[in-house]
Amino acid sequence: MTDTTASTLDRADQVRTWDRLYIGGEWVPAHSGRLIESIDPSTEQVWALVAEADEYDVDAAVAAARAAFDGPWRHATTPAQRGVLLYRLAELLRRDAGRLAEIESRDNGKPVRDTTGEMLRAADWFTFYAGLADKLRGAQVPVSEDAHAYTIRQPVGVVGAILPWNSPISLSSWKLAPALAAGNTVVMKPAELTSSSALELARLVEEAGFPPGVVNVVPGYGGVAGARLASHPDVDKVSFTGEHRTAQEIMRQAAGNLKRISFECGGKSPYIVFADADLDRALAVAVHSGFRSTGQSCSLASRVLVERPVYEEFAARLAERAARIRVGMPFDPRTHIGPQTSRAQLEKTQSFIEDGRRAGFRLLTGGGRPAGLDRGYFVEPTVFADVDHDSRMAQEEIFGPVLSVIPFESEDDAVRMANGTRYGLVGGLWTSDVRRAHRVAARIETGLVSVNTFRPILPSLPYGGFKLSGIGRENGLEVMAEYTETKAVYVDLSVDEPADPFAD
Ligand code: NAD
């Protein structure tokens, strides 16, 4: 496998190669012999080649994960030892955060300061679940004096983790850390656009000392490697992050052996600003929450709903701030946001902007290509006001830096609109009325509601969606339910002869 160092990464002319898969603790060539081209979205040049797994490789990875699960991982590794391994992995991630961040920035175009932060946060996830590994308990169930009943939490088995391209390592930590803490083994398939960092993470797994087969990494295309993982009869659970249409397909594929499933899908998050809010704070947070990651976030504050008395002022100030966002190259320290990750994503964003123009929504800023960036999948931060809430722009996830600003007249009106899409991932509201804050938080149909901030993401806080935004929860203690089976054990302690209803 080609060595990866920060210094060679800086040489934009050199195509890097990751030509091995990580299966059963070995670095093996892909069965197909093919390599996936990874394009640097800021230059539109191929910058990396990554081994492409097919069904054969996925089968080998699942067999390795099964052998590890049935062998040393389950029977010779204590929960406390699992925790120690996860702590080690967290430390290695912290050590290599800069190098991994550079790889992800080349792959998906995010500013390197953002990807560096994501690596450090991923390390925090491993630390959190390291501490949990030996604290997962069942319960004693009171039934009668003549019986002892209790529950045991057991790992589900082999987990298939299927990942998107927008935050590859960070989102893989959301799956790997709790799955491993609970005692499962994992076959991970990163997105085809951003596969290299997952193989680098596998190196750290190896260095941390996890037994062979506990973690396996098989980059490949969704319709081939992903589909095989989702339908494989020896995979017990699929944990997926990506688009809801893919989740629907995976649900069908996973039906064969009734796999456990958890899905983190898209969103169209409402950002509700009441007239009594601290508008300066609401504005500062709206800019970051609406445009970070170039809009390529499932929890983007993409529908800005503003109470009528402050609507015009808020929309104008938001547009003015958006126009000052610095769009640029990922490795330039002044850059706030980079390009879109792929040409397809850029074209999707542009089609929504065209839709908005055609529909006659008020374009307050953006809509074009940033000056001076002729190459790369760049697009300006864009704000439309007076957007029809029933329009495609307000209803569909764009996954680009395009905000819809929409007025509302009353609390009921705000709640109706907030809940008026097929998604339900994150919601935020801004008000200085504490009673309204709790009242509206209870009425919003999203898995996370924030008040006077937006989208706090912590390992300790459960995260997930209502409606098309997903099934199940990641993070918090709650995610452990997704990676364990609960077994009830009932021990009869009575000494009397058992009643035999069939005796007569
Ligand atoms: P995607 O659904 O296109 O792909 C996600 C993964 O699924 C990739 O690894 C892909 O190869 C794989 N895949 C594709 N077809 C498959 C199939 N038939 N069977 C099995 N696997 C298959 O999503 P994406 O474009 O990579 O990511 C963007 C989407 O992810 C957005 O909708 C975004 O909102 C969502 N997302 C959600 C969260 C969250 O936590 N809720 C976080 C990040 C991204």
**Helix runs in 340-487, H state only:** 343-359, 392-395, 411-418, 434-443
Tokens linked to 114: 């953002």
Q: Ligand 1: which of 243, 259, 297 to mutate, judged by most atoms within 8 Å of the beta carbon?
A: 243
Q: Is the CB of 344 within 6 Å of ligand 1?
A: no
Q: Say whether 270-451 and 16-265+469-488 share the same fold.
A: no
| Residue with CA nearest ligand 1 atom 28 | 242
Q: Where are the domains of the chain?
A: 16-265+469-488, 270-451
| Residue with CA nearest ligand 1 atom 23 | 242
pLDDT tens digits for range 292-348: 999 999 999 999 999 999 999 999 999 999 999 999 999 999 999 999 999 999 999
pLDDT tens digits for range 241-267: 999 999 999 999 999 999 999 999 999
| Residue with CA nearest ligand 1 atom 16 | 222
Looking at the DSSP assignment, which residues form a beta bridge with residue 429?
A: 272, 451
pLDDT tens digits for range 456-471: 999 999 999 999 999 9
Ligand 1 centroid to residue 165 C-alpha, Å: 8
> In this structure, how many other beta carbons lie within 10 angstroms of the beta carbon of residue 252?
10
Distance set, CA 395 to CA 71, 388, 447 (Å): 49, 9, 18
Work out the angle between the directed axes of helices 112-132 and 79-95 (0-180°, nearest 10): 160
Distance from C-alpha of 500 to C-alpha of 211, rounded to nearest angstrom: 50
pLDDT surpasses 90 at 367: yes
Distance from C-alpha of 31 to C-alpha of 50, rounded to nearest angstrom: 13
pLDDT tier at 498, thresholds 50, 70, 90: confident
| Residue with CA nearest ligand 1 atom 35 | 242
Distance from C-alpha of 52 to C-alpha of 37, rounded to nearest angstrom: 9
Q: Which CATH number is associated with domain 16-265+469-488?
A: 3.40.605.10
Q: Tokens 């941390």 map to which residue?
A: 208
pLDDT tens digits for range 420-473: 999 999 999 999 999 999 999 999 999 999 999 999 999 999 999 999 999 999
Looking at the domain 270-451, which fold is it? Aldehyde Dehydrogenase; Chain A, domain 2 (3.40.309)
Across 481-495, average pLDDT: 97
Q: Is the CB of 298 within 6 Å of ligand 1?
A: yes
Cβ–Cβ < 8 Å for 24, 7: no
Q: DSSP secondary-structure letter at 446?
A: S
> Is 478 among the catalytic positions?
no
pLDDT tens digits for range 126-135: 999 999 999 9
> Is 206 among the catalytic positions?
no
Distance from C-alpha of 203 to C-alpha of 392, rounded to nearest angstrom: 43
Q: Is the CB of 399 within 6 Å of ligand 1?
A: yes
Cβ–Cβ < 8 Å for 264, 417: no
Across the chain, mean pLDDT equals 96
Q: Going by DSSP bridges, is the β-strand pair 185-189/158-162 parallel, antiparallel, or unpaired? A: parallel
Q: Is the CB of 107 within 6 Å of ligand 1?
A: no
pLDDT tens digits for range 179-221: 999 999 999 999 999 999 999 999 999 999 999 999 999 999 9
Looking at the DSSP assignment, which residues form a beta bridge with residue 4?
A: none
Q: Is the CB of 226 within 6 Å of ligand 1?
A: yes
Indicate which residue of 102, 264, 397, 474 is catalytic: 264
Residue 7 confidence (pLDDT): 37
**Single pTM value for the model:** 0.96
Q: Ligand 1: which of 108, 231, 241, 471 to mutate, judged by most atoms within 8 Å of the beta carbon?
A: 241
Q: Is the CB of 242 within 6 Å of ligand 1?
A: yes
